[in-house]
Amino acid sequence: MGWIILALIVFAVLYAIAIYNKLVAGRNQYKNAFAQIDVQLTRRHDLIPNLVETAKGYMQHERETLEAVINARNAAVSGLKQAAKDPTDPDAMKQLAQAEQGLSGALGRLFALSEAYPDLKANENMMQLSEELTTTENKVAFARQAYNDAVMQYNTYRESFPNNFFAAWFQFRAAELLEIEDETKREVPRVAF
């Protein structure tokens, strides 16, 4: 009888260790997925000042639009820094999503206005930056999808019984999805150069 009790205790300990390790692995997986978003958004943010500088020479009368793009970019950089500190912070993730949505809108207005400037459309640097930005937007979308998938898997495992007891005991917080509000209206900035 003593061996049976000892075997049950060993089994329970091993089971608890397995749950803990899987929670750690899930947390690391979604943090790594967020790091990929961070890389792509940083690349996007780094491209924007060059894009604005290129457009500035041609769009001298569109100062408000150019400033709006820079302000939106700065807000997005700030939002990314906050979210990167703790992807489980719902406020930081919402702020990031709103800032990125604002940046996409400002870029969309910039590209729409650039249509009125044929010399700008023909500028080789502008065409290259626009292509890089479009490619980066696609990479951001894929990275965000991978992140949200990792968050969903982690949160599902964390909330399942009996894992939820271990998650609460060891303070594994729920991860936050990165959702861009009104996804149906969000578009990658159109580049037609």
Strands (E), 68-145: none
Quick one: pLDDT at residue 125? 78
pLDDT greater than 70 at residue 156: yes
**Contact assessment for residue 155 and residue 175, using Cβ atoms and an 8 Å cutoff:** yes
Return the domain boundaries, the chain: 15-169
pLDDT greater than 70 at residue 1: yes
State how far the Cα of 10 lies from the Cα of 136, in Å rounded to an integer.
Answer: 50
Crossing angle (nearest 10°) for helices 2-56 and 124-159:
160
pLDDT band at 110 (very low <50, low <70, confident <90, very high): confident
pTM of the shown model: 0.77
φ, ψ of residue 171 to 5 degrees: the values are 60, 50
Quick one: pLDDT at residue 187? 54
> What CATH number has the domain spanning 15-169?
1.20.1440.20
Tokens of 50: 């060059």
Tell me the one-letter amino acid at 29.
Q
